[in-house]
Structure 1
Amino acid sequence: MTYKLAPSILAADISKLGEELEAVKRAGADYIHIDIMDGMFVPNISFGITVVEGIRKCVDTFFDVHLMVHDPIRYIRDFVEAGADGLTVHYEACDDLDATIDEIKSFNKKVGIAIKPMTDVSVVLPYMEKVDMILVMTVEPGFGGQKMRKEMFEKIKTIRSYAEEIGHEVDIEVDGGVGVDNLDEVLDSGANVIVAGTKIFKGDIVANMDSFKSIINKR
């Protein structure tokens, strides 16, 4: 299994975003996680297309774009053209999930499905063979800095078990409250793509990245 660390710019200092992106890149970030919020699907507004375009000029790291927006199929082309390498959409936000997945694939981009904590894991299993990644939210999406809901680990275990049962390699991403204090538990549950925001961007970015990477590299 290949493990990936994806710092979330939701917790970065926007006044020096380019510098902080360079710092996490140098420290070994595999992905840059970019949360897009529309104020409708989640009760917050974050970044838009122009921000993705702007930071694409700063780093060439894989852009893991998490669309927390209603009916995301409307924006797939825009975010692809802005520089997204992978697009994750919410099961709960799509009027036609199959069409949305196909739209992302038409641009030869990585496709992911995300589910909120209250969504039953069974809803994503039928789509397993169509996607590259499943994102399990371990907090309610919309705001950074929340405490992880560890009961979500059972969802991760179910997804990993089902993937092994059908012989399909899929990334399982975890987003919400991940830190070095619970990272081993997260990895043990079967996740391999780790999103972390506050625990990376608050304080010494390089030292924080090193702490995460030292745990991941033991796997």
Structure 2
Amino acid sequence: MIGKLKGIVDSSGEDWVVIDVGGVGYHVTCSRRTLQNLPAYGGAVTLSIETKVSDEAIRLIGFESDNERDWFRLLLGVQGVGTRVALGVLGTLAPADLARAIALDDRKAISAAPGVGAKVAARIAAELKDKAPEGASLAAMLDGPINGAGVPAASAPMRDAVSALVNLGYPQVQAAGAVASAARALDEGATAEQLIRQGLKELAR
């Protein structure tokens, strides 16, 4: 199986790119966002690869990072989500944005992806709320608003509160969402202790 390709951009289309690796061209399917971030023709590029094998063909799917590829794998585990839909989600939301949308149950942000209706968005939010790829960035989950949700930038008390909730056994994505919701409900200068208490209330709902 191919796990990574490092070469130069040879050509590209609406949903694919050919990467020249030592004279061999690899046809790689990518999300819209990944394609937009590729260098111009002849530019050096490295893509994390998911290899899909079927009776008809071997298909390479490329991602900007291992983290994005891991989110792709998680999305494929959701009922009703196939390769096309998963790439549509990742083409619309960067991994950190997707993590925040799931943590905040922001189905509107998820359903903005092509091919994702209200039911599929609800399943993604529900089935992945306790999951995140290994090594997913807590700072990225908490920093910045998504889709007008008004999530404040992560402060030291917010990070401490999430860490405390994770130590209590809550998954990181769920804990980050609870603290983000708590921060919206409390004053801007809320302490970690206040955020933890409010976060636990959010988790108990």
TM-score range relative to shorter protein: under 0.3
TM-score normalised according to structure 1 size = 0.26
Of the two, which has the highest radius of gyration?
2
User: Which structure carries more relative contact order (alpha carbon 8 Å, separation 6+)?
Assistant: 1
TM-score normalised according to structure 2 size = 0.27
